[in-house]
C-alpha cells in the first residue's frame, strides 16, 4: 500500500521567514534617535549635535562618554501582542498581531556611544569636535507579509501583494568637526563628519510580489526584484544555496577599526538659529547629509525574475511511492534563489531635520514647539512636539515634552539637567512611559551624560 | 550638601521606575506559543498527461504500440514458444552391413525410417570392408560405389589381398572416410562393383566373398518421400498483466488478435494445429479457444528443394472472425496456455521433400490487444493514510478540474476506515463523477475534450472524523463513453489534464 503523508510545512516560505527572524533578532540590541527633548535643552552642549549652530552659555565644554539609546515600533507593544490563555501561558494570537499592524511596520533601534565631545570658542564663534560610534537599525515589514505567513494567502485570491521586507542595519564610526558663527541675531553652523563604516546589512530593491489565481486552482505567480547587501564585519551565508541554512555572522573588530572603520564616508550637518526677539528664538537644522561607500567584504545578493508555480506533475507523483506534499515547499524555496556578486555599494544616512521655536515666558519658564523629520529609503517620518522647561535656579533645569510622531505615536517625555559647578549631569527621555513600562509602549528612548563646562559666554 | 540631598531625592524615583521596567522586561522571554488561524490556497497538482505517459509508469510487461493501422493504442505481449528440431523427429542412422555377392551387385539402403530415401548427403561416417580370397597368390581389389559420390567422383576403394600361404586368405579394410559424400538412390538401392585381379597372372577373378558395413553415418541433408507423421509440441504459457489491476466488470475488446508465428526450415509439407488454447483469469475461470481455425489447422510454408537451409515464416492469426478470441479476453485473463501439434505430409502424398540436420520449427506468440472496445470496470483498493499533523488541519476545500480527451470516464468515492476496519465517513455522499468520458464519433474516436470541475468540501466537523481514519478505501468506477455501452478507441495522443487546488484551513 502506498503511504500518503501531508506536511503543512509547505505553508511557510522558509527563506523569507528565516531572514525575517534573523532581522528581528538583531533588534534585540540597539534609525536614528529623535532626541526631541534634547533639542530643546539649549543649556546642554549635546544640543549642538542636533544643530551645529547651537552655542551654549559656556565657552569650553568637554563631554565624557555618554550613551543614547532608543527603540521603537509602529504601535506594536509587547502587551498588545501577547495574551494569556486558559492555561496561564503567554501566547501571541497571530490574528490579533496582524490586526494591529499598519500597511508598513517599522521597528527601529539606535544606539550612539559618544566617546567624547569638545567645544570651545569666544562669544561670537565656536569650534566643536567629537567622536561617536553609532548603530542604527531598522526593519520595515509590510503587513502583507505577516498576513501571508500567519493567516495564509486565501485572503489575497486574485490580488497581487508585495511581501518584501526592507531593512538596514548599519554601524559606523563618526569623527566630526564643526563651527558656529554668530552674526548678531543670526547664528550659522556647519559640521563635517568623516565616517568609517563598520558593518552594513541592508536591503536594496524590495519587490517580492505574489499573486494567487482565483479563477482556477490557486496557481501562484511570483515576481521578485530583491537585493540584499552585506559588508564590513557582517557576512551572510546560505542565501544562494537552498540546501544551506541562512546564517548571519560577525567578524571581530579591532581598536583601529572601531575608531576609523574600513569603509569610508562623509556627511554634513547644517544649522541656523535666529533670535527673533529677546524672548523668541527659532532654529533649524538638517543633519547627516551624507553616505558611506561599502567596499570591505561587500557582497550583493540578488533575486530577480518571474516565476509561476502551478502544482506538481501527476507523473512525478505516480513514480514516487511515498507522496509528500512538502515537495511544494521545496519548489517554492527554489524560486527565491539569490545570486551573489562582490561589488561596492553605498548607503545613505538617515537624514534628520529639526525645526524649533522657543518662547521665554518668564525668567524661569520657557515653552516651545518642534517639527522633526526623518528620511530614509524613501520613507518620511515626521514628528510634532511641544515642550515646556523650567529653570529651578541656576543649577537645575526641568522640562517636559509631548509629541505625536508617525512612527512613535503619542509620547510624553521629560528631561532634566543639573549643573554642579563645572559638572553638568543630564538625563532625557522622549517617552517616559516607554521606559517605565516598556511592554506597554512601542517606543522607548533615553539619553544620559556628563559634561565639564567652563567659562561663561556673554549673551 | 543641599545639592547632594537633592540628587539623592531625584535618583530614588528614577531608580524605582527602572527597577519596575527591568522586572517587566524579564518576562519577555516567556512567550509559550503562537496561535495561528490561517487559510492557505495552494495549487497541488497540475499536469497534462497522455495515456501513453500514464501507461509507461504502470510497469506493464507489454510493449506499447503507439499506433495500429488507424492510430489506436495497442498492447502487445510477445513470447517465444516451443521449438522442434530434426533430431526430435528423426532417429540417427544406424550402422548397416551389406554383402556384395557378385562383381556387380545392387544393395538395398533402408536406413531412414519414415523416409523413402532419394538423396542422402553425409555429414560424416566411415565404411569397413571384409574379403575372402581362394587364390594362392596376391589379388588386387577395387570396389566402386557409383552412386556414392563426392565432387562427381564415385567412391573407389583399392586394396591388395596378400596371400598368406594357406588355402583361403581373409582381408579387412577399415575406416574408409566418406565424409562429404552424397548417396543418390534409385528405389532405395545403390549399385556396387568390385574388380579383383591376380597380381602374378593378371587375370580378373571372382572372390569367394566380399562385404562391408557403413558406420557412424550422420546426415547433412536427406531427400525423399516422407511418410505422414503427426507430432506434438510442448505446452507453453504466455502471461498477460494488462488486467492485473484488480478490476471487476465487463470488458468487450472489439478487435483483438493472437498471432502464432512459425519459422520452418523443414522442406516438407507440415500442417500445424492448435491442439489446445485456453485463457485463465485471476479467479481460475477459463475459456477454451474454438472456431474453424482450430479444427482446420494451418499449412506451414516450407522451403522448396532448391531452398535447403532457408526458413519460411507463416503466421496463424486468431481474430474475432475465425475464433472466439473476444470471449476469451472478456474474462480479463492473466495467462494463455496453449499446445500445438503438427503433421508431416498430412495428405500422405508421394512427393519429394527434404530435411537437413539443422531443420527446425520455431514458434513465437504475439498477443495484440488494441485499446478498442467498451468496458465498465470497478475496483476497490485500500491505502494507509498518515495525516502527519492531524490537529492542525481544521477544514479543507479542494477544486478538481479535469479536461478529458479520452473516451473513458471515472467516478470515485473514498471511504475512511478506522482501526476497527469500520467505515466512519466518506468523501462524497455518493460515487462522484470526477472524469467525464469524451463523446465519440461513429468510428470510435473522441470528438472533443470534456471539461469537468468538481468541488470537494471537507468542513471542520468532518476533519476530526477523517483524522481518526487509519485507512482509505478507494472505490473507482471506470467506463467508456455512454457508460460502457459504446465501443471506443484510445490513442496514445489522447491527453488527460488534471488540476487540483486546495484551500486548507490551519489552526495551531
**pLDDT tens, position by position, B418-449:** 888 888 888 888 889 989 999 999 999 999 99
pLDDT recorded at residue B15 = 53
- Residues of chain B above pLDDT 90, percent: 47
The DSSP output letter for B486 is S
DSSP run (H or E) holding A37: helix A36-40
Strand locations in A12-151 (E): 58-63, 66-73, 82-84, 90-93, 104-121, 125-142
Q: Decide if A218 and B18 are in contact by the 8 Å CB cutoff.
A: no
A 375-404 residues inside an 8 A Cβ radius of B: 395-396
Q: Decide if A1 and B382 are in contact by the 8 Å CB cutoff.
A: yes
Asked if A212 has any chain B CB less than 8 Å from its own CB, the reply is: yes
A 248-267 residues inside an 8 A Cβ radius of B: none
Q: Decide if B38 and A6 are in contact by the 8 Å CB cutoff.
A: no
Partner-chain residue, chosen from A150, A218, A313, that has the shortest CB–CB distance to B42: A218
Determine the structural domain holding residue A439 and report its residue range.
4-456
Partners of residue A153 in chain B, C-beta under 8 Å: 40-41
State the pLDDT confidence band at A34, using cuts at 50, 70 and 90: low
Residue A439 predicted with pLDDT over 50: yes
Residue A457 predicted with pLDDT over 70: no
All three cell numbers of B300, joined, read 506451414
Which residue from B minimizes the CA distance to A319?
Answer: B57
Size of interface A-B (CB pairs under 8 A): 168
d(CA A37, CA B270): 118
Cα A33 to its chain centre, rounded Å, is 8
- List the single best residue of B2, B12, B26, B36 to mutate versus A (max A Cβ within 10 A): B36
d(CA B316, CA B60): 25
The answer to which of A31-35, B283-287, B485-489 has the lowest mean pLDDT is A31-35
Q: Decide if A8 and B20 are in contact by the 8 Å CB cutoff.
A: no
B219 Cβ partners below 8 Å, 6+ apart?
B93, B112, B120, B121, B122, B123, B357
d(CA B8, CA B246): 92
Per-residue pLDDT, averaged over B272-300, amounts to 89
Asked if B498 has any chain A CB less than 8 Å from its own CB, the reply is: yes
B 193-212 residues inside an 8 A Cβ radius of A: none
Residue A9 predicted with pLDDT over 50: no
Residue B48 predicted with pLDDT over 90: no
Residue A23 predicted with pLDDT over 60: no
Which residue from A minimizes the CA distance to B390?
Answer: A6
User: What tens digit of pLDDT does each residue of A229-283 get?
Assistant: 999 887 777 777 766 777 777 777 677 776 777 899 999 999 999 999 989 999 9
Partners of residue B34 in chain A, C-beta under 8 Å: 91-94
Partners of residue A435 in chain B, C-beta under 8 Å: 17-18, 21
Select the CATH number that applies to the domain covering B230-353+360-370 from these four: 2.60.120, 3.40.50, 2.60.40, 3.30.60.
2.60.120
Residue B22 predicted with pLDDT over 70: no
Report the gap between the CA of A448 and the closest CA in chain B (Å). 12
Q: Highest mean pLDDT: which of A318-327, B118-127, B462-471?
A: B118-127
Partners of residue B385 in chain A, C-beta under 8 Å: 3-4
- Residues of chain A above pLDDT 70, percent: 83
The total of other beta-carbon atoms located within 10 Å of residue B189's CB is: 14
User: What tens digit of pLDDT does each residue of B217-245 get?
Assistant: 999 999 999 999 999 989 999 888 878 77
Q: Decide if A2 and B47 are in contact by the 8 Å CB cutoff.
A: no
pLDDT recorded at residue B66 = 53
Which residue from A minimizes the CA distance to B501?
Answer: A217
Q: Decide if B35 and A92 are in contact by the 8 Å CB cutoff.
A: yes
**What CATH fold (topology level) applies to the domain B95-226?**
Jelly Rolls (2.60.120)
Who wins on pLDDT, B56 or B204?
B204
Residue B69 predicted with pLDDT over 70: yes
User: What are the boundaries of each domain within chain B?
Assistant: 38-59+374-507, 95-226, 230-353+360-370
Q: B220: exposed, middle or buried (C-beta count within 10 Å: 0-12, 13-18, 19+)?
A: middle
Q: Are B502 and B44 a contacting pair, CB within 8 Å?
A: yes
Q: Decide if B34 and A92 are in contact by the 8 Å CB cutoff.
A: yes
Per-residue pLDDT, averaged over B474-485, amounts to 90
Who wins on pLDDT, A73 or A432?
A432
Q: Decide if A1 and B399 are in contact by the 8 Å CB cutoff.
A: no
**Cα dihedral sign for A381, A386, A390, A391?**
positive
Residue A93 predicted with pLDDT over 80: yes
The total of other beta-carbon atoms located within 10 Å of residue A372's CB is: 23
Place of cell 488534471: B498
Partner-chain residue, chosen from A319, A396, A438, that has the shortest CB–CB distance to B24: A438
Residue A91 predicted with pLDDT over 90: no
pLDDT recorded at residue A2 = 34
State the pLDDT confidence band at B30, using cuts at 50, 70 and 90: low
pLDDT recorded at residue B6 = 46
User: What tens digit of pLDDT does each residue of B380-401 get?
Assistant: 888 777 655 456 788 889 899 9
Residue B21 predicted with pLDDT over 60: no
B 17-76 residues inside an 8 A Cβ radius of A: 17-18, 20-21, 24-25, 27-28, 30-47, 49, 53-54, 57
Q: Decide if A212 and B41 are in contact by the 8 Å CB cutoff.
A: yes
Q: Decide if B39 and A7 are in contact by the 8 Å CB cutoff.
A: no
- Indicate the average pLDDT of chain A: 81
Partner-chain residue, chosen from B37, B49, B503, that has the shortest CB–CB distance to A315: B49
**Which of A281, A290, A267 has its CA nearest to residue A55?**
A281
DSSP run (H or E) holding B5: helix B2-26
Buried b (16+ CB within 10 A) or exposed e, B455-480: ebebeeebbeebeebebbbebbbbbb
Which residue from B minimizes the CA distance to A12?
Answer: B40
Q: Highest mean pLDDT: which of A99-108, A302-311, A447-456, B300-309?
A: B300-309
Buried b (16+ CB within 10 A) or exposed e, A24-46: eebbeebbbbbbbbbbbbbbbbb
Report the gap between the CA of A285 and the closest CA in chain B (Å). 32
Buried b (16+ CB within 10 A) or exposed e, B59-90: eeebebbeebeeebbbbbbeeebbebbbeebb
Look up the ipTM and state it. Answer: 0.74
Whether B230-353+360-370 and B95-226 are alike in CATH topology: the answer is yes
User: What tens digit of pLDDT does each residue of B152-193 get?
Assistant: 999 999 999 999 898 999 999 999 999 999 999 988 899 999
d(CA A154, CA B27): 35
B 379-438 residues inside an 8 A Cβ radius of A: 382-389, 392-393, 399, 401
d(CA A373, CA A381): 6
pLDDT recorded at residue A4 = 34
CA distances from A241 to A10, A331, A338 (A): 19, 13, 8
Partners of residue A150 in chain B, C-beta under 8 Å: 36, 38
Report the gap between the CA of B398 and the closest CA in chain A (Å). 9
B23 Cβ partners below 8 Å, 6+ apart?
none
Partner-chain residue, chosen from A150, A153, A317, that has the shortest CB–CB distance to B36: A150
Pairing mode, if any, of strands A3-5 and A323-324? Answer: parallel
The answer to which of A241-255, B11-25, B193-207, B487-501 has the lowest mean pLDDT is B11-25
pLDDT recorded at residue A10 = 36
Report the gap between the CA of A53 and the closest CA in chain B (Å). 32
Amino acid at each position: 500500500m502506498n503511504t500518503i503523508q501531508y506536511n503543512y510545512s509547505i505553508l511557510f516560505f522558509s527563506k523569507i521567514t528565516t531572514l525575517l527572524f534573523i532581522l528581528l533578532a538583531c533588534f534585540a540590541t540597539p534609525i536614528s534617535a529623535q532626541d526631541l527633548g534634547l533639542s530643546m535643552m539649549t543649556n546642554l552642549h549635546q544640543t549642538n549635535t542636533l544643530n551645529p549652530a547651537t552655542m551654549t552659555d559656556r565657552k569650553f565644554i568637554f563631554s565624557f562618554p555618554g550613551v543614547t539609546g532608543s527603540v521603537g515600533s509602529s504601535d506594536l507593544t509587547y502587551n498588545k501582542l501577547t495574551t494569556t490563555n486558559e492555561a496561564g501561558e503567554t501566547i501571541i494570537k497571530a490574528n490579533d498581531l496582524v490586526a494591529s499592524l499598519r500597511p508598513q511596520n517599522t521597528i527601529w533601534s539606535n544606539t550612539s556611544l559618544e566617546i567624547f565631545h569638545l567645544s570651545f570658542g569666544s562669544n561670537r564663534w565656536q569650534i566643536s569636535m567629537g567622536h561617536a560610534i553609532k548603530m542604527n537599525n531598522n526593519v520595515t515589514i509590510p503587513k502583507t507579509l505577516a498576513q501571508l505567513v500567519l493567516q495564509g494567502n486565501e485572503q489575497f485570491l486574485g490580488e497581487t501583494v508585495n511581501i518584501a521586507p526592507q531593512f538596514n542595519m548599519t554601524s559606523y564610526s563618526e569623527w566630526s568637526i564643526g563651527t558656529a558663527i554668530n552674526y548678531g541675531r543670526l547664528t550659522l553652523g556647519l559640521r563635517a563628519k568623516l565616517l568609517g563604516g563598520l558593518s552594513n546589512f541592508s536591503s536594496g530593491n524590495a519587490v517580492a510580489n505574489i499573486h494567487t489565481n482565483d479563477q482556477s486552482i490557486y496557481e501562484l505567480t511570483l515576481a521578485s526584484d530583491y537585493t540584499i547587501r552585506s559588508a564590513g564585519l557582517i557576512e551572510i551565508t546560505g542565501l544562494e544555496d537552498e540546501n544551506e541554512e541562512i546564517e548571519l555572522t560577525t567578524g571581530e573588530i579591532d581598536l583601529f577599526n572601531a575608531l576609523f572603520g574600513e569603509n569610508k564616508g562623509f556627511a554634513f550637518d547644517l544649522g541656523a538659529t535666529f533670535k527673533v526677539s529677546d524672548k523668541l528664538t527659532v532654529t533649524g537644522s538638517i543633519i547627516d547629509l551624507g553616505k558611506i561607500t561599502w567596499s570591505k567584504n561587500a557582497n550583493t545578493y540578488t533575486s530577480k525574475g518571474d516565476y509561476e508555480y502551478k502544482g506538481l506533475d501527476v507523473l512525478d507523483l505516480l513514480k514516487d511511492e511515498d507522496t509528500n506534499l512538502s515537495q511544494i515547499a521545496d519548489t517554492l524555496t527554489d524560486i527565491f534563489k539569490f545570486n551573489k556578486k562582490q561589488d561596492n555599494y553605498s548607503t545613505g544616512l538617515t537624514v534628520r531635520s529639526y525645526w524649533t521655536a522657543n518662547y521665554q515666558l518668564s525668567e524661569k519658564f520657557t515653552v516651545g514647539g518642534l517639527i522633526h523629520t526623518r528620511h530614509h529609503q524613501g520613507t518620511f517620518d515626521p514628528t510634532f512636539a511641544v515642550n515646556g522647561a523650567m529653570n529651578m535656579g541656576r543649577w537645575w533645569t526641568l522640562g517636559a515634552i509631548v509629541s505625536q510622531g508617525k512612527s512613535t505615536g503619542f509620547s510624553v517625555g521629560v528631561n532634566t539637567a543639573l549643573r554642579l559647578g563645572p559638572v553638568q549631569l543630564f538625563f532625557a527621555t522622549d517617552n517616559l512611559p516607554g521606559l517605565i513600562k516598556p511592554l506597554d509602549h512601542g517606543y522607548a528612548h533615553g539619553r544620559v551624560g556628563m559634561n565639564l563646562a567652563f567659562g561663561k559666554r556673554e549673551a | 550638601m543641599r545639592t547632594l540631598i537633592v540628587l539623592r531625592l531625584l535618583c530614588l524615583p528614577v531608580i524605582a521606575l527602572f527597577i519596575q521596567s527591568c522586572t517587566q522586561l524579564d518576562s519577555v522571554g516567556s512567550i509559550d506559543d503562537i496561535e495561528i488561524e490561517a487559510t492557505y490556497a495552494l495549487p497541488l497538482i497540475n499536469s497534462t498527461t497522455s495515456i501513453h505517459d500514464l501507461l509507461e509508469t504502470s510497469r506493464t510487461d507489454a510493449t506499447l504500440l503507439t499506433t495500429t493501422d488507424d492510430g489506436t493504442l495497442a498492447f502487445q505481449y510477445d513470447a517465444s514458444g516451443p521449438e522442434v528440431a530434426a533430431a526430435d523427429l528423426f532417429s540417427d542412422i544406424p550402422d548397416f552391413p551389406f554383402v556384395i555377392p557378385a562383381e556387380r551387385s545392387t544393395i538395398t539402403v533402408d536406413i531412414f525410417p519414415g523416409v523413402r530415401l532419394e538423396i542422402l548427403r553425409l555429414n560424416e561416417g566411415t565404411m569397413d570392408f571384409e574379403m575372402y580370397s581362394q587364390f594362392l597368390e596376391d589379388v588386387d581389389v577395387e570396389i566402386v560405389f557409383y552412386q556414392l559420390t563426392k565432387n562427381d567422383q564415385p567412391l573407389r576403394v583399392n586394396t591388395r589381398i596378400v596371400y598368406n600361404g594357406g588355402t583361403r586368405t581373409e582381408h579387412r579394410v577399415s575406416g574408409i572416410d566418406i565424409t562429404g559424400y552424397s548417396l543418390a538412390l534409385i528405389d532405395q538401392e545403390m549399385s556396387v562393383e568390385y574388380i579383383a585381379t591376380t597380381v602374378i597372372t593378371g587375370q580378373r577373378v571372382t572372390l569367394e566373398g566380399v562385404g562391408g558395413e557403413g558406420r557412424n553415418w550422420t546426415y547433412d541433408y536427406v531427400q525423399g518421400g516422407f511418410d505422414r507423421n503427426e507430432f506434438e509440441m510442448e505446452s507453453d504459457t504466455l502471461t498477460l498483466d494488462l488486467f492485473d489491476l484488480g478490476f471487476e466488470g465487463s470488458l468487450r475488446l472489439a478487435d483483438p488478435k493472437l498471432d502464432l508465428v512459425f519459422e520452418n526450415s523443414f522442406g516438407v509439407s507440415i500442417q500445424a494445429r492448435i491442439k489446445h488454447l485456453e485463457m485463465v483469469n485471476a479467479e481460475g475461470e477459463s475459456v477454451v479457444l474454438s472456431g474453424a481455425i482450430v479444427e482446420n489447422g494451418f499449412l506451414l510454408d516450407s522451403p522448396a528443394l532448391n531452398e535447403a537451409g532457408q526458413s519460411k515464416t507463416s503466421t496463424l492469426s486468431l481474430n474475432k472472425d475465425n475464433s472466439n478470441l473476444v470471449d476469451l479476453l472478456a474474462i480479463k485473463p492473466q495467462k494463455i496456455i496453449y499446445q500445438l501439434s503438427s503433421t508431416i505430409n498430412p495428405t500422405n502424398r508421394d512427393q519429394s521433400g527434404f530435411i537437413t540436420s539443422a531443420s527446425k520449427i520455431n514458434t513465437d506468440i504475439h498477443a495484440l490487444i488494441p485499446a478498442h472496445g467498451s468496458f465498465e470496470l470497478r475496483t476497490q483498493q485500500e491505502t494507509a493514510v498518515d495525516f502527519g499533523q492531524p490537529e492542525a488541519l481544521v477544514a479543507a476545500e479542494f477544486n478538481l478540474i479535469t479536461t478529458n480527451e479520452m473516451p473513458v470516464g471515472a467516478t470515485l468515492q473514498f471511504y475512511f476506515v478506522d482501526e476497527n476496519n469500520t467505515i466512519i465517513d466518506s468523501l462524497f455522499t455518493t460515487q462522484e463523477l470526477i472524469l467525464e468520458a469524451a463523446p465519440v464519433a461513429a468510428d470510435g474516436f473522441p470528438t472533443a475534450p470534456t471539461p469537468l470541475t468538481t468541488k470537494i468540501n471537507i468542513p471542520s466537523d468532518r476533519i476530526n472524523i477523517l483524522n481518526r481514519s487509519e485507512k482509505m478505501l478507494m472505490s473507482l468506477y471506470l467506463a467508456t463513453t455512454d457508460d460502457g455501452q459504446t465501443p471506443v478507441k484510445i490513442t496514445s495522443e489522447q491527453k488527460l489534464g488534471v488540476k487540483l487546488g486546495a484551500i486548507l484551513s490551519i489552526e495551531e
